[in-house]
Amino acid sequence: MKFQSIIDLQNFLISNAKGIEVPADWSIEPEICPPGQDGDLTVNCFRFTKLLRSKPDDIAESVVNFLNSHDEVEKAERVKAFVNVTLKPAAVHRDTIQDIATILRPSVIDADSVEKILIEYSAPNTNKPQHLGHVRNNTLGMSLASLLKRVGHDVIPVNLVNDRGIHICKSMIAYQRFGNGATPESTGKKGDHLVGYYYVLYNTELKKQLGELKQEKPEICDGKTDDELFLKTEIGAATQQMLQDWEANDMEVRELWLAMNNWVFDGFDKTYKRMGIEFKKTYLESETYLLGKDIIEDGLEKGVFQKREDGATFVDLGKLGQKVVLRSDGTSVYITQDIGTTVMKYNEFQADKQIWVVGDEQLHHFKQLFGTLKAMGCEWADGLHHLSYGMVNLPTGKMKSREGTVIDADDLFEEMVSLAKQSTLERCGDDIPTDIDERSEIIGMGALKFMLLKFNPKTTIMFDPQASVRFEGDTGPYVQYACARINSIEKKGAEQGITVDNSVNWALMDSDFEKSLSIRAASYPAALNSAAAKYDCSVLVSYLLDLAKDFSRFYRECPVLIAETDELKKARLAMCCRVRDILVDGLKTLTIGIPQAM
């Protein structure tokens, strides 16, 4: 926020900093005055002590004296080392909401700060449909990509699908045994749901065989976990054999694998389309799982990696421990592939930064991955970032894919849209809109995304669908409703002949509610910048909620279309329309749609 009085204060302080070299980019960044205190802005003088080499109270006294003599300041009061400033209405609106083009400028970062940023997110497995956990991952990834693009970066969203391995073979074995030639077409099931059905069947059969094994051969089961007994079961051994056949390019196994994977990919595409997700590129683990081995061998020759006595290859990462990168038999481990794909992505896109949206249970893995790449001498490794996030739990506990107790993504979408439709119908009464289904889709999907973005990514959250679609409270529909209400005000204003043009007299809006709304609106670019810098869309969500709440207070206290004069009506309508444009831009940045009416 750039207020002329604050710019003049800044120049005054610089001119009085005798013998002190002040950096060219030094500036005073006022904050919105805290609730309960008198003033529009607050200047924190503690921040100037080191630069100006004076006591904070002395600086604050100088600030108060200067501002109280400024033509655009009504009053300035010192609270210890803080100065609360009350500006004249005309100055507030001129330096904030009047210049809507600056507030909504296409880029909020300097040209020199633009980076090419690659974001990898989603990363589903092709043995089951996506669930609520994936929905949070998708929402975080797509919204962060949109946010970074909004502030001016060059963003490349990519996906890495886990389409091979023992877990994929589990669905395939179950289909062979129980499928009877079923297809998505013959069953009417979405492809990923059909494959997921067999994954659950597999684990039911495995559980049965483990129980029989423990009962019939307790001597070999005592003290062993189910994972350790996996290959002792008939179905477990058959699954391991299928994986070996897949790696040996067995034609029959590969044909089944391709068919079932294609069913899943078709289902994934429908899920992504409904969320509004598009990837620049999708990598498949079946095409990348052997990457990294040559890089490890090269690093071994250069002394980056070492051999253990048992023949395994490892890297010593100091405090992060020793990490095996090749087994003693020369086969890859998980990090081997990650090393290969990370190098491949860098070579392909030359991104300044790479971001992985992955759950926080992989924190240590990514620390070791980044440490390994630095040990290899990859100068670009300082630009690698793990955006970790907490899990989404149900009121009944954690989700378990093997037991089929997850909240399926597609089912969740349907529930959210249904709840939104129900809420909309309750508000409409007998006047049911013709676009009720489209409106419900926008509100329901927006409510879901907004609720998942409302919390810092690291927070483990409990998701409540009904709470998220309420039109009151800290929800997406609350912000969407503010936009719809302003659309209605603008329409009614036009019917009365009240329209917005360049002749608005902003000085007419002199209440605290109007000034507060203008100042909040002007802080939109700062909110965008802060959210992007922190890789945290919840910062933008909080801002939009605050702006919508400030608008609600303004609308309640400052009648728009029944104001005392037409000029005041026009000014307040102009304020409304500008606030709506900011809310719309913010919601779109979060990949959330806005219905014309609610």
Average pLDDT of the segment spanning 523-541: 97
* pLDDT confidence bin for 598, thresholds 50/70/90: confident
Of 117-121, 430-434, 510-514, 552-556, least confident by mean pLDDT is: 430-434
Torsion on CA atoms 247, 248, 251, 253, rounded to nearest 10: -40
344-368 pLDDT per residue, tens: 999 999 999 999 999 999 999 999 9
Domains of the chain: 4-87 (3.30.1360.70), 165-276 (no CATH), 409-589 (1.10.730.10)
Distance CA 8, CA 18 (A): 17
380-408 pLDDT per residue, tens: 999 999 999 998 876 654 444 444 457 89
Say if residue 431's pLDDT is above 90: no
Average pLDDT of the segment spanning 554-570: 96
26-57 pLDDT per residue, tens: 899 999 999 889 999 999 999 999 888 899 99
- The CA distances from residue 105 to 101, 151, 524, in Å, are 6, 9, 10
On average, the pLDDT of the chain sits at 94
Average pLDDT of the segment spanning 582-590: 98
Q: What pLDDT score was predicted for residue 395? A: 67
Cβ-contact 539, 526 below 8 angstroms = no
Task: Pick the closest to residue 578 from 549, 547, 557 (CA basis).
Answer: 547
Q: How many CA atoms lie within 13 A of 136 on its CB side?
A: 27
Going by the DSSP 8-state scheme, the letter that residue 73 receives in this structure is E
Say if residue 189's pLDDT is above 60: yes
Task: Pick the closest to residue 135 from 458, 395, 359, 403 (CA basis).
Answer: 359
* pLDDT confidence bin for 10, thresholds 50/70/90: very high
Going by the DSSP 8-state scheme, the letter that residue 34 receives in this structure is P
Backbone phi, psi, residue 286, to 5°: -65, -20
Q: What pLDDT score was predicted for residue 405? A: 58
108-145 pLDDT per residue, tens: 999 999 999 999 999 999 999 999 999 999 999 999 99
Q: Where do the H-state alpha helices sit in 315-408?
A: 334-349, 363-375
**Amino acid at site 327:** R
Tokens in use for 52?
Answer: 């100006």
Q: What pLDDT score was predicted for residue 403? A: 45
Tokens in use for 278?
Answer: 């598009």
Average pLDDT of the segment spanning 553-577: 97
Angle between helices 538-557 and 476-495 (to 10 degrees): 40
Residue 73 pairs in a beta bridge with 87
Average pLDDT of the segment spanning 46-74: 94
The DSSP-derived string for 540-568 is HHHHHHHHHHHHHHHHHHS-STTSSSHHH
Say if residue 180's pLDDT is above 80: yes
Distance CA 132, CA 446 (A): 15
Q: What pLDDT score was predicted for residue 463? A: 87
194-253 pLDDT per residue, tens: 999 999 999 999 999 999 999 999 999 999 999 999 999 999 999 999 999 999 999 999
Q: Which helix (H) or strand (E) holds 354?
A: strand 353-359
Tokens in use for 511?
Answer: 């209440």
Tokens in use for 524?
Answer: 């939109």
Task: Pick the closest to residue 176 from 267, 252, 264, 262 (CA basis).
Answer: 252
DSSP-derived pairing of the beta strands 41-44 and 82-87: antiparallel
Q: What pLDDT score was predicted for residue 402? A: 43
Q: What pLDDT score was predicted for residue 394? A: 66
Going by the DSSP 8-state scheme, the letter that residue 406 receives in this structure is S
**Amino acid at site 15:** S
Say if residue 443's pLDDT is above 60: yes
Distance CA 562, CA 104 (A): 29
pLDDT > 70: percent of the chain: 98
